[in-house]
Amino acid sequence: MDLTERNNSIKDFFDSKADEYDAVHLQMMENKSAITEQLEDKISNILDLGAGTGLELIPLFNKFPNAKVTVIDRSNHMLDNLRKREFSNKIEIICGDFFEIDFGNNYDAVISSAALHHFNETDKKRLYIKIYECLKSGGQFINSDRIVDTQEEQDKLMKEYEENSKLHPHMDTPLASENEKRLLKEVGFKNIKINDLDDDRYKLLTCIK
């Protein structure tokens, strides 16, 4: 399955799960709150990739009530639920594909939660280049997401997806920590760190431009 086909399948999956999303992901709020905890106090202009219903923005706006946030998500049904949040008037909402949408520029931070673990290394690097280019010098990239420990785990999950992509288009294909770090370094990011979260399925990735 190529990238466009996979992204369309993921969109269809999340459109169908939009009304159930919060019930599942509210149990993962510590993963999402960890993003806000890493944001520098001076930030004001933020891009959120894969915001969905906006759960990670709840703690963010509690800490940064005057932040300007742009969100990009593939699923308009998910974004409909984001539009119902009390802080939705502070958000610019864009429905579209990460690989096709112009991110803009001059962001203090790019954040993401549980949204970027569906891409192979080649596509992930393309995305990281876009993230790097849209950040200010010294800007932060913070991602709370599925990341595995070893190449063997990455290869196993990718093989399972390739063998079952038609039946299960939403299967996770996270990269190994060493590959995440390598790709980010190749793009130009510095101070790259990947730390464990209490939820052992997820890790917190942080770096700066």
The domain that contains 155 carries what CATH number? 3.40.50.150
Please write the tens of the pLDDT for every residue from 38-88: 999 989 999 999 999 999 999 999 999 999 999 999 988 889 999 999 999
Mind listing the pLDDT tens digit for each residue in 91-112? 999 999 999 999 999 999 999 9
Question: Terminus-to-terminus CA distance in the chain, angstroms?
Answer: 32
Domain hosting residue 168, numbered range: 3-208
pLDDT band at 27 (very low <50, low <70, confident <90, very high): confident
- Residues 6 or more apart whose CB falls under 8 angstroms from that of 82 comprise 51, 52, 53, 54, 57, 71, 73, 88, 91, 93
Q: How much is the pLDDT for 13? A: 65
pLDDT band at 1 (very low <50, low <70, confident <90, very high): low
Is residue 194 predicted with pLDDT exceeding 60?
yes
Token output for 184: 């980010």
Q: Based on the structure, what is the number of domains in the chain?
A: 1
pTM for the structure as a whole: 0.91
Instruction: Return d(Cα 209, Cα 203) in angstroms, integer.
Output: 20
At 195 the pLDDT is 97
Distance CA 209, CA 198 (A): 27
